[in-house]
Amino acid sequence: MNHPSGDPGGAPRPAGRGASRPASRHGTKTAAPAHGAPTFAPLYRQIQALLMRSLQEGEWKPGEAIPSETELAARFRVSQGTVRKAIDELAAGHMLVRRQGRGTFVASHHEVRTQFRFLRIRPDEPAGGGAYAAMPMTSHILDCRRLRAPVEIARLLQLRTGETVIQIRRMLEADGRPEVLDEIWLPGARFRGLSAERLAAYSGPLYGLFEAEFGTRMIRATERLKAIAADAALARELDVAPGSPLLLVERLTYTYEDRPVELRRGYSVTTNHHYYNELI
Amino acid sequence: MNHPSGDPGGAPRPAGRGASRPASRHGTKTAAPAHGAPTFAPLYRQIQALLMRSLQEGEWKPGEAIPSETELAARFRVSQGTVRKAIDELAAGHMLVRRQGRGTFVASHHEVRTQFRFLRIRPDEPAGGGAYAAMPMTSHILDCRRLRAPVEIARLLQLRTGETVIQIRRMLEADGRPEVLDEIWLPGARFRGLSAERLAAYSGPLYGLFEAEFGTRMIRATERLKAIAADAALARELDVAPGSPLLLVERLTYTYEDRPVELRRGYSVTTNHHYYNELI
DNA sequence: TAGTGGTCTAGACCACCGT
DNA sequence: CGGTGGTCTAGACCACTAA
């Protein structure tokens, strides 16, 4: 079937005109996969995939506006409602940001609204009796080294053992007290040229730097939390007694295509702050 | 304005007929609140609110089907698309569950799909090399007492100090090893008749019991995590050395109307498991 | 086969934003 | 004021489920 069923006796749409056009109306039956039932791919998901591809390829950069819904509808030769549904889901996944009256924009880690999307550490009592919010902390880079990936790191980042990785260590402080020791691992190839100087020169969220300077946008992350005892080194750096309980937050961060591109281990003294989570 | 703008010269809809009918088409300007800009309440949100009220009042019980979209559209005198959008958001918030070809159902903590919605504890390695999943643990009730609410408990549950609360303590074990000690606080008035015997007799998720026997459905929860050192009592019960690091998960669970109705403190030995979270 | 949710379209109007 | 996203409608057809 090649035309919309609801199409009121209209003239057939001209084909081609250089616009990429999804396979058919009303979705497409993809070939039945080896396991499981055949899947149905609705039109709006195909549009979604096309938009995702444009985002990945950098057709629109973080912070920029994408074309209006009307324009996109014309480009893909679908109704505005279909484009709308595609954008809706991308906006729900924080890939895009809608702003009424202005347009739809590529999400960016520079913007305040999404700045601390991945930060779950909160002070136990909100400062100044105000609303609970992300904790204001200052960051100090301890070191930034290039080395061969240990087995465990390579496995998690889906690299070959021995490939070069970058290790960053930094301390997050609040009120001059050390709160979190972060140990960050990055694939060397993707972050060529990253150095301690460059990190020190940059103020703002790390993910903003990655996005602006290395074209790598962090999309989602998974975290595993454990309580551990501080060993001698950690105890010294965090200024606690050896054996003190620490909250270990291990985060794997993913870019497009579900590629893991950052491993982060945060060691946290949770006497004055906590990890906050909402279950919905 | 009283009629849909797109209404093609149609006859005016009969008014009344016993159906509750939202204020107007195309949303309603609510009176400007004291602080902030005037709010706009679209029709579908009004429908949403009406559906929520029916859920709260128990017009449809957990597990039951609600009327079809067509029926609801007729009842509220709006288009199916508007009902659809209302349901969409409720389904996203796990209030309802859509099942294609069957209908839309009131979510229940008895169903497998939502059974472990609030359980974030996972084994470090999935059992049998399978996919990662919630950890299978067996529960033992240690005690269930009725007492006057301590200040802190009362504050969190929004009760008056000294009001009667129920305290449940239970141990979760995996492979016969103690893993999590749970201390659960409930408002006595809402859970009248809850006893250790009744808890022991019931197998299945606690929230299923609360929903079926006390008409209290848990909707959402917030959690605060800290790493703490095991005191003598905890160490004994969890079979670890005093001072061992434990993961403390403090959960506040809410029913309808954003009323907190459960406080839960879980003390966890995270040597073989962890707390899992997805950041999106 | 009937009924339910899911997709798609076309068109109108509204709220919001910048100029 | 024009343009953008946001809401609402009406109607057609598709996919899925159960009888």
Q: Give the best residue of B224, B225, B234, B255 to mutate against chain A (max A CB count within 10 A).
A: B225
Least confident of B42-46, B121-125, B275-279: B121-125
How many Cα atoms are found within 13 Å in the side-chain-facing hemisphere of B21? 15
Average pLDDT of span A91-113: 95
pLDDT in the model for residue B1: 31
Q: Which amino acid is at A250?
A: E
User: What SS3 state is found at B76?
Assistant: helix
Residues of A in contact with B89 (CB under 8 A): none
What percent of chain B shows pLDDT beyond 90?
Answer: 76
DSSP state, B187? E
Q: Do B270 and A220 touch (CB under 8 A)?
A: no
Q: Is the dihedral of CA A208, A213, A219, A224 positive or negative?
A: negative
DSSP for B230-278, written as a single string: --HHHHHHHTS-TT-EEEEEEEEEE-GGG-EEEEEEEEE-TTSEEEEEE
**Cα end-to-end distance, chain A, whole Å:** 41
Contact B256, B52 (CB under 8 A): yes
pLDDT in the model for residue A258: 95
Longest dimension (CA), chain A: 79
Please count the residues of chain A. 280
What percent of chain A shows pLDDT beyond 70?
Answer: 82
- 134-193 of chain B touching strand D, CB 7 A cut-off: none
Question: In this structure, what token pair is assigned to residue B234?
Answer: 């905890």
pLDDT in the model for residue B65: 98
pLDDT band at B116 (very low <50, low <70, confident <90, very high): confident
pLDDT in the model for residue B39: 57
pLDDT digits (tens, 9 = 90+) for A16-61: 333 344 444 444 544 333 333 445 689 999 999 999 999 999 999 9
pLDDT in the model for residue A128: 58
At B238, give phi and psi (nearest 5°).
Answer: -95, 0
Residue whose entry in the numeric block shows the structure tokens 């979705």: A27
- Residue B21: pLDDT above 50? no
DSSP state, A256? G
| Segment holding A265, helix H or strand E | strand A260-268
- 76-105 of chain B touching strand C, CB 7 A cut-off: 81, 84, 98-104
Q: How far is the CA of B201 from the C1' of D17 (A)?
A: 36
pLDDT in the model for residue B26: 47
CA B77 distance to own-chain centroid? 30
Partner B contacted by A274 (CB < 8 A): yes
Strand partners, A260: A254
Q: From CA A76, how far away is CA B268, in angstroms rounded?
A: 52
Residues of A in contact with B228 (CB under 8 A): 227, 245, 270
Average pLDDT of span B71-91: 98
Of A221, A244, A245, the CB nearest to B279: A221
pLDDT in the model for residue A33: 39
- Residue B27: pLDDT above 70? no
Domains of chain A: 28-106 (1.10.10.10), 112-275 (3.40.1410.10)
How many Cα atoms are found within 13 Å in the side-chain-facing hemisphere of B200? 8
pLDDT band at B195 (very low <50, low <70, confident <90, very high): very high
Q: From CA B280, how far away is CA B273, in angstroms rounded?
A: 22
Average pLDDT of span A174-182: 95
Q: From CA A127, how far away is CA A103, in angstroms rounded?
A: 35
- Residue B227: pLDDT above 90? yes
pLDDT band at A264 (very low <50, low <70, confident <90, very high): very high
Average pLDDT in chain B: 87
| Segment holding B156, helix H or strand E | helix B151-157
Cβ neighbourhood burial of A14 (10 Å; 0-12, 13-18, 19+): exposed
Residues of B in contact with A223 (CB under 8 A): 276-279
Q: Do B278 and A220 touch (CB under 8 A)?
A: yes
Residues 6+ apart with CB under 8 A from A9: none
pTM of the model: 0.88
B224 touches strand D (CB under 7 A): no
- Residue B153: pLDDT above 90? yes
Q: From CA A82, how far away is CA A23, in angstroms rounded?
A: 14
pLDDT digits (tens, 9 = 90+) for A267-278: 999 999 999 999
- Residue B186: pLDDT above 90? yes
Q: How far is the CA of A6 from the C1' of C8 (A)?
A: 8
pLDDT in the model for residue A130: 55
The 10 Å Cβ neighbour count of residue A73 is 18
pLDDT in the model for residue B203: 85
CA A6 distance to own-chain centroid? 39
Q: Tell me which nucleotides of strand D come within 7 A of a protein CB.
A: 2-18
Closest nucleotide to A65 by C1' from CA: D4
pLDDT digits (tens, 9 = 90+) for A105-160: 999 999 987 878 999 999 998 665 556 566 789 999 999 999 999 999 999 999 99
**A24 or A242: whose pLDDT is higher?**
A242
Residue A225 to chain B, least CA–CA distance (Å): 5
Residue in B60, B79, B97, B258 with CA at minimum distance from that of residue A278: B258
